[in-house]
A and B are shown apart, each in its own frame.
Chain A
């Protein structure tokens, strides 16, 4: 148990909504299908290039889907008494600790694709640009609740700079 992000499994980490995985899989799938279609189109003029693109599409789909699954499982956040923990990353594993008192703004964003699945991203900003506390793929109601809770805790312990 070298990874502190994994070590705290006993405390219940909250996870993004599984629909985020659907969204990411869809994105990889769309990329692969686009490659495949270009390959099919080109195979009428040059069968070799077409075949290469088809193989590339299969590779993208295979590697992409595995990676997206592992990446999805790596996301997690934990609200502690004084700070928020956010973990992420497969190759580079990261764990951020952001004290509520340091929060300057809480941002909730939802792109068109996220919106279509009823998802939103919550991001915490501190006075430091390096602070890294972003939680994607939250159910919209969960995101709003989390935002309100964070703002409330931030106000209670505001310390600014």
Chain B
């Protein structure tokens, strides 16, 4: 792969599709409503569309890429030339993204993420689907350090059921509560003097919630996680599809989330906190590289089985409850609280309404904090936090342990974490 390559000739069509489609809609409305427009007007319209097409084609013409000595190089730009060189040893993941239009034309985008800033992301949009997959496998092989491009060997771990997805999505707090609020507005609002406005507001809320739910459904439809030689392979999507790779050593923590209304069904979702990658403005959280959904919805047992694939056996059920006197300090969350250390991992369960199980590899712990509030001091309790890379909410809280246990944890954890760090430094953690 040392000669220059171009993107697929149809890629300007997909790229421009996003630009042209709104343009066409805007221009077509007066055209259709008037039946026929003046000649000069339609000339201007055609000119605008033509300009968009020419711009896309020019961009395609001046873009080329190749792999030279362990570096992926992309040259682009018509007026301002830009060369991007991405050292393959810094690659964190390689994703295939296929929006709906690209799928229609048999194209796919290859997105290479490297550590840190958003400039670290390289996008090859678009290549023929088979070609993109071949390139992905080749790049992954280069990242591994071997030169033979072996196709990915996958063994599926979990697959989301569409039925559960359909039931569980409206039961999410973010979807259900706005719907209930809008329903309440509709029922009570009609009797108010300015009922029309209230009804319109409720309709707007429902519209927003509906689009939100549709987005969740379309991105998590057909969701699938498989194990490969490079870690995990995640794919899914209804209209546009995506295929992501995730190296296991990038996982900073695993979270099993059980929302209130999922608990009667015994359902949970599994989410991984992933190192690196600032959140981009045009991406939602799950696509930003910070948080990756591994299982959108499954029974708790299934979710824990997937977690065990990643962190080793019985990690999800480990831990002990805090002393009963903790009930006085945390009456609501006490029934859920649980925490403990197992074999290189810390496990904590917290939550009042939704249950959150966090599994964090000790090798990924950034810092350890011991906190004791006034009530905890009275009761002889303390909380030990294990901070993971990322925002404030990542990491595990071993909540309301007895003072003796918390103190013992605080004494033991720093050296345990240091040992775990060193053993993973010697060789990246690989699957059992």
Contact = CB atoms under 8 A, between A and B. Distances in A.
B334 to A, nearest CB: 20
Interface string B386-403: 011111101100000001
Interface string A96-128: 111101100000000000000000000000111
Task: Please tell me the size bucket of the interface on A.
Answer: 20 to 34
A126 B370 CA distance: 17
Given A7-B407, A95-B410, A159-B421, A128 B371 contact: no
A127 B369 contact: no
Interface in B366-380: 366-374, 377, 380
B425 interface: yes
Interface stretch (A16-24, A50-58, A130-138, A140-148): A130-138
Interface stretch (B54-62, B132-140, B335-343, B411-419): B411-419
A126 B371 contact: no
B414 A131 contact: no
B275 interface: yes
A97 B373 contact: no
Contacts of B403: 2-3
B390 A127 contact: yes
B395 A2 contact: no
Contacts of A102: 366-367
Interface string A65-103: 000000000000000001100000001111111110110
A32 interface: no
Interface in B75-98: none
A97 B413 contact: yes
Contacts of A10: none
Given A98-B367, A127-B275, A4 B385 contact: no
B275 to A, nearest CB: 5
Given A102-B366, A102-B367, A130 B414 contact: no
B178 interface: no
Contacts of A161: 252, 275-276, 364, 389
Contact of B380 (A2, A95, A126, A127): A2
Contact of B410 (A97, A99, A127): A97
A131 B366 contact: yes
Given A7-B407, A126-B367, A93 B372 contact: yes
Interface of B: 252, 275-276, 364, 366-374, 377, 380, 382, 385, 387-392, 394-395, 403, 406-407, 410-411, 413-415, 417-418, 421, 425
Given A128-B394, A129-B390, 6 more contacts: A2-B403, A3-B372, A91-B374, A98-B366, A126-B389, A133-B367
23 contacts: A2-B377, A2-B382, A82-B414, A82-B415, A92-B371, A93-B371, A95-B371, A96-B367, A96-B368, A99-B418, A126-B387, A126-B389, A127-B389, A128-B366, A128-B367, A128-B387, A128-B388, A128-B390, A128-B395, A130-B367, A130-B385, A130-B392, A131-B369
Interface of A: 2-5, 7, 82-83, 91-99, 101-102, 126-133, 159, 161
